[in-house]
Copies of this chain bind each other. A is one copy, B any other.
Amino acid sequence: MASDIIVFRYGHRHVRDYRVTSHCCLVSRAFGASKTYVMGETDEKILRTVDEMNAHWGKGAGVEFVDGWRKKLSEYQKKGYTSVHLTMYGTPLQEVEKELAKKDKLFVIIGSQKVEKEVYDKSDYNISVTLQPHSEIAALAVFLDRVQAGAELGKKFAGAKIEVEPTQRGKQVKEYAERKK
């Protein structure tokens, strides 16, 4: 299983994409990635949302806005990350997930608006999650779930002030006076 996963969100339009990009960042965090890059103009509201999540629910992937994708992709490829671009046109996930699950480090690119052809060419893998149009949020979640074989579902986040106590009915949480180690 990958020792590190980075998520790169290709494209973010200010205001218009706030909720969808937020969902991407929160999925990246909840499903165990260590960092989320968002390509686009810095959106303070998204940074605040994710920072607050990390402050309350424990330390997970933070967010950084960047201008372009080429430098980051090349930087992580040089560091030994396998790059995977999620697209409905790619190789079906189920055909390569075992191979991908063996990679030590993953750099996962998810689109929003139209993605340049060069992203398809420069990524090590182009992978589809179903061959139907749906949602980059859903594709990211299923991809992260499958390449980690569900290990992320029970992940504990260090430094949590609040944690869910699973229950069959209603809501139960544990709150800590000090941050949990």
Residues of chain A having any CB pair with chain B under 8 Å: 19-20, 23, 26-27, 29-31, 53, 57, 60, 87-94, 117, 120-121, 125-126, 128-135, 137-142, 145-146, 150, 152-155, 157, 163-164, 166-173
Q: Please, how many angstroms separate the alpha-carbon atoms of A146 and B121 in the complex?
A: 31
This chain's copy number in the assembly? 2
**Secondary structure type dominating chain A contacts:** mixed
Contact residues in B for A128 (Cβ distance below 8 Å): 164, 166
Residues in B with CB closer than 8 Å to A121 are 169-170
Chain B residues positioned under 8 Å from A155 (CB to CB): 130, 132
Given contacts A27-B134, A132-B157, A142-B145, list 10 more A-B pairs with CB under 8 A: A19-B20, A23-B135, A23-B138, A30-B138, A57-B133, A121-B169, A126-B169, A130-B152, A138-B140, A141-B141
Report the nearest B residue to A92, measured CB to CB: B166
Q: Whose C-beta in chain B lies nearest to the C-beta of A23?
A: B135
CB < 8 Å: which of B92, B125, B142, B167 contacts A89?
B167
Which of chain B's residues has its CB closest to A28's CB?
Answer: B134
A159 CB to nearest B CB, Å: 13
In the complex, are the beta carbons of A168 and B91 less than 8 A apart? Answer: yes
Residues of B within 8 A of A126 (CB): 167-169
Cα A26 to Cα B139 with chains together (Å):
12
Q: Is the CB of B53 within 8 A of A133?
A: yes
A-B residue pairs, 7 tightest by C-beta: A138-B141, A30-B132, A23-B135, A30-B134, A131-B164, A26-B134, A89-B171
Q: A169 and B120: CB pair below 8 A?
A: yes
